[in-house]
């Protein structure tokens, strides 16, 4: 598309079924709300991708996709668009890939405010700029009133894994140190407070942020980094259980060093929730060999997303496949995989 050409403006305040009908109204919506912000190289039926990293001998493509249905779609610290970008970028980054390109597809409910879509698109572009990626292709669909909840977003991401880099949960070995980059549960607590169902008042904001720069710093400082997971739905507990099961070893964590805000702990105590299972959108756990743990921590502390990083435990030979927390009272507690859902529509 020639971006110098004038872009038609959407005159309606709300989306109608005509905006999904394939005609001029749909084209106006796409060009005005999305293309004008994301500025792809053209309006073909596919993105045509080129990067020097693809030509490096031994480099591999990484590809991931995710859908986002958060309620409410806007909340303290972010919105559904920011989560869509950060969530997909982080899925690539924790696997050792350098994120490069994203696609974005929107399911829009009839009656959704056009102003909301503009805010979401701007938020997505801001997050993409921060992550160093481009939104290069996408799609929109409009469904009837009541067939969706304002807007759903699906993103897919492509990145490049440099030659010789292998991160996988199965590589974790007894003795490896588990490190988290920041506080736990902020996203889940922020969403809960934003819904207003419980008359809770708090200043908690979502931790939603891209983690690609952080992962590159960790891998540079600790070249034998074993594995990483972003602690999204199911929280830290589910991420650790996935790693323990894949690695065939146990994991032990220390309750006294877990980074939790007082406000998050308070919300969880009032509602009977466990912060280990609350969703995060900018928090990861990474396993590195013991001899590289200090270097990894120092590197994380030098990145804004890792300034509150702390070692929380390690992999062990005993109780393979099980996560155990050493409690502040001197006891031990099994941290099992989340059964069911603590909070619906969280990301």
Q: What helix, strand, coil percent values describe the chain, rounded to 5?
A: 35, 25, 40
Q: Does 185 lie in the same domain as 147?
A: no
Q: Does 315 lie in the same domain as 259?
A: yes
Q: Residue range 164-169: average pLDDT?
A: 95
pTM of the complete model beyond 0.95? no
User: What was the pLDDT predicted at 343?
Assistant: 63
The CATH code of the domain that includes 37 is 3.30.1330.10
Q: Does 183 lie in the same domain as 140?
A: no
Q: Does 148 lie in the same domain as 35?
A: yes
Render 235-280 in DSSP notation, one character per residue: HHHHHHHHHHHHHTSEEEEEGGG----HHHHHHHHHHT--GGGS--
Residue at 11 is within a domain: no
User: What was the pLDDT predicted at 197?
Assistant: 62
Q: Does 111 lie in the same domain as 195?
A: no
User: What was the pLDDT predicted at 266?
Assistant: 86
Single out the residue in 122, 144, 161 at which a domain terminates: 161
Residue at 148 is within a domain: yes
What pLDDT band is residue 2 in, cutting at 50, 70 and 90?
very low
Q: Does 131 lie in the same domain as 214?
A: no
Q: Does 259 lie in the same domain as 210?
A: yes
User: What was the pLDDT predicted at 6?
Assistant: 55
What pLDDT band is residue 167 in, cutting at 50, 70 and 90?
very high
Residue at 8 is within a domain: no
Could you report the per-residue pLDDT of 174-227, keeping only the tens digit for each?
A: 999 999 999 999 998 898 888 876 666 678 899 999 999 999 999 999 999 999
Of 44-53, 105-114, 212-221, 298-307, the least confident:
44-53
User: What was the pLDDT predicted at 272?
Assistant: 83
Single out the residue in 112, 140, 161 at which a domain terminates: 161
Q: What is the average pLDDT score of the chain? A: 92
Number of domains in the chain: 2
Q: Does 296 lie in the same domain as 224?
A: yes
For the chain, helix (H) and strand (E) counts, in that order, are 9, 13
| Structural domain that includes position 128 | 17-50+57-161
Q: Does 148 lie in the same domain as 175?
A: no
The CATH code of the domain that includes 210 is 3.90.650.10
Single out the residue in 128, 161, 194 at which a domain terminates: 161
Q: Does 263 lie in the same domain as 125?
A: no
User: What was the pLDDT predicted at 1?
Assistant: 39
Residue at 343 is within a domain: no
Q: Does 147 lie in the same domain as 227?
A: no
CB within 8 Å of 169: residues ≥ 6 apart: 227, 229, 242, 243, 246, 247
Residue at 33 is within a domain: yes
Residue at 7 is within a domain: no
The answer to whether the Cα torsion of 344, 345, 346, 347 is positive or negative is positive
Locus of tokens 């877990």: 258
Could you report the per-residue pLDDT of 121-150, keeping only the tens digit for each?
A: 999 999 999 999 999 999 999 999 999 999
Could you report the per-residue pLDDT of 39-88, keeping only the tens digit for each?
A: 888 777 788 888 888 888 889 999 999 999 999 999 999 999 999 999 99
Of the chain, the percentage scoring pLDDT greater than 90 comes to 78
Residue at 183 is within a domain: yes
CA distance 255 to 260: 10
344, pLDDT greater than 90: no
Q: Does 315 lie in the same domain as 263?
A: yes
Residue at 344 is within a domain: no
Could you report the per-residue pLDDT of 19-38, keeping only the tens digit for each?
A: 999 899 999 999 999 999 99
Are 334 and 240 within 8 A, CB to CB? no
């Amino acid at each position: 598309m020639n971006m110098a050409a004038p872009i038609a403006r959407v005159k309606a305040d709300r989306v109608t079924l005509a905006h999904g009908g394939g005609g001029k109204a749909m084209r106006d919506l796409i060009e005005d709300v999305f293309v004008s912000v994301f500025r792809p190289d053209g309006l073909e039926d596919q993105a045509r991708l080129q990067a020097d990293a693809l030509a490096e001998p031994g480099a591999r493509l990484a590809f991931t996709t995710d859908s986002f249905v958060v309620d409410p779609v806007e909340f303290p610290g972010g919105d559904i668009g920011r989560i869509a970008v950060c969530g997909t970028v982080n899925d690539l980054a924790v696997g050792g890939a350098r994120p490069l390109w994203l696609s974005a597809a929107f399911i829009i409910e009839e009656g959704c405010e056009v102003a909301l879509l503009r805010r979401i698109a701007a938020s997505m572009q801001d997050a993409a700029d921060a992550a160093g990626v481009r939104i290069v292709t996408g799609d929109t669909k409009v469904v009837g009133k009541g067939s969706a909840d304002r807007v759903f977003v699906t993103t897919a991401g492509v990145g490049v894994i440099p030659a010789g880099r292998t991160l996988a949960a199965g590589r974790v070995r007894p003795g490896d140190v588990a490190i988290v980059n920041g506080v736990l549960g902020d996203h889940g607590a922020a969403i809960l407070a934003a819904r207003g169902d419980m008359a809770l008042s708090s200043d908690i904001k979502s931790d939603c942020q891209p983690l690609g720069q952080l992962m590159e710093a960790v891998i540079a400082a600790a070249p034998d980094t074993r594995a990483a997971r972003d602690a999204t739905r199911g929280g830290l507990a589910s991420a650790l259980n996935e790693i323990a099961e894949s690695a065939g070893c146990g994991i032990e964590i220390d309750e006294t060093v877990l980074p939790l805000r007082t406000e998050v702990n308070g919300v969880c105590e009032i509602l009977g929730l466990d912060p280990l299972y609350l969703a995060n959108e900018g928090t990861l756990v990474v396993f590195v060999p013991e001899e590289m743990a200090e270097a990894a921590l120092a590197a994380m502390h030098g990145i804004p997303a890792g300034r509150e990083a702390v070692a929380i435990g390690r992999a062990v030979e005993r109780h393979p496949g099980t996560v155990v927390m050493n409690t502040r009272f001197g006891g031990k507690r099994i941290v099992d995989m989340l059964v069911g859902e603590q909070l619906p529509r969280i990301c």
